Amino acid sequence: MRRLARVSGGVINTGRPFRYYQKVFFNNRSKADILTELQGKTIVDIGCGYTPFVPDSMFRACHDAGIEFYGIDPIIKKTMNFKASDAFYTRMTGGSGRLDANAPGVEKAISTLADDLPFADASVDRILSNWLILIWINEEAELLKIFSEFYRVLKIGGSFNLYPLPDWHSFRFKNPQLKALLRQFDINQHFVYEGFNPQYPSCNRVCFTKNS
């Protein structure tokens, strides 16, 4: 899995534009439709990197639309000092490459880990995660901690969405607690194809919807 990330150009410390999320999580629906759907909901971006600091991001669009959209990543600091390489990696995702440490809404950019989320039980509608879970984090004990935390904060009917992944049915987990937890979700996958583009590898987006 880590090899997949390296070969396909996965970079954690970058800022992704709105159209990145539009393609991989929302099936290329219009920006207006997506923002209308998310009104009144709480969305959490796990492993957001520098996305909260770029003006053309989903984080910023949701902020401007009054939607509760949070970015979670331990790389976030109270004082951000961006380098030229950060702008370069951000442009690689198709964005403008501009980074603003004082961007509007950055109070919702939170420095923490995926297994220690600062949200109340059953308070989150949707979790999104690019290039992190099962790519850089794939030990079963660690996945159990993270997925348990996702289960805790999600409302019934809420979901967490992971991209990119191979066929979900190819995974063979051994941890009995992890297997039992996964049975508390309805799991569906959607194949994302954007041609030969290393930022949008031809892989699956897997959606885990909390069913109880």
b or e along 119-147 (b: 16 or more beta carbons within 10 Å of the residue's beta carbon)? beeeebbbbbbbbbbbbebeeeeebbbbb
Task: Region of 69 please: left (phi>0), alpha (psi -120 to 50) or beta.
Answer: beta
Per-residue pLDDT tens for 62-111?
999 999 999 999 999 988 999 888 898 888 888 888 999 999 999 999 99
pLDDT at 113 over 60: yes
Residue 115 confidence (pLDDT):
96
Confirm if 205 and 189 have CB atoms less than 8 A apart: yes
CB 207 within 8 A of CB 189: yes
30-56: pLDDT as tens digits? 999 999 999 999 999 999 999 999 999
Residue 35 confidence (pLDDT): 98
Give residue limits of the domains in the chain.
2-210
Q: Calculate the CA 130 to chain-centre distance.
A: 4
Length of the chain as a residue count: 212
CATH of 2-210, one of 3.40.50.1260, 3.40.50.150, 3.60.15.10, 1.20.272.10: 3.40.50.150
pLDDT in tens, 126-150: 999 998 888 778 899 999 999 999 9
Distances (CA, A) of 148 to 55, 71, 136, 140, 163: 32, 19, 18, 12, 19
Compute the distance between CA of residue 180 and CA of residue 140 in angstroms, rounded to an integer.
Answer: 13
Taking the whole predicted model, whether its pTM rises above 0.85 is answered as: yes
DSSP bridge partners of 43: 69, 126
Helix, strand, coil fractions of the chain, as percent rounded to 5? 30, 25, 45
